Amino acid sequence: MEIKAIRTEADYLAALQEVSVLIGLDPAVDSAEGERLDVLGTLVQAYEARHHAIDPPDPIDAIKFRMEQSGMTVKDLVPYIGPLNRVYEVLSGKRSLSLSMIRRLSDGLHIPAAILIRASDAVEA
């Protein structure tokens, strides 16, 4: 099993193609193909972390996404954010999240606090 480091975009694309083929084979974990897939997957993941990093989502977008996932309405955010007018202010970017809102949203909606702490793009503008 000869595997080389992923140093260039061409190496990365070749590794992705091989990973795709290996996934299609659905190899057993303890087989040679399964081990190759595991190693290549780790290398691809490391390359992506360095060269194709994804910024965390905007806090308001994260809240709206969770609402959509859970079938929530704006009224369902009242226990986490406060009165309905405050919920609308937060969702429109006119008001920042307070520390107590962040705690309640993180605990209740299971949105990581690290995402909610970031300044929203809408509030900064």
List, for residues 55-77, the tens digit of each pLDDT value: 888 999 999 999 999 999 999 99
The distance between the two most distant Cα atoms of the chain, rounded to a whole number of Å, is 61
Q: What is the pLDDT of residue 15?
A: 95
- Indicate the length of the chain as a whole number: 125
The SS3 assignment for 82 reads: coil
Report the domain count for the chain. 2
* Residues 41, 16 share a domain: yes
* Residues 70, 34 share a domain: no
Q: What is the pLDDT of residue 55?
A: 84
Whether pTM exceeds 0.85: no
* Residues 63, 47 share a domain: no
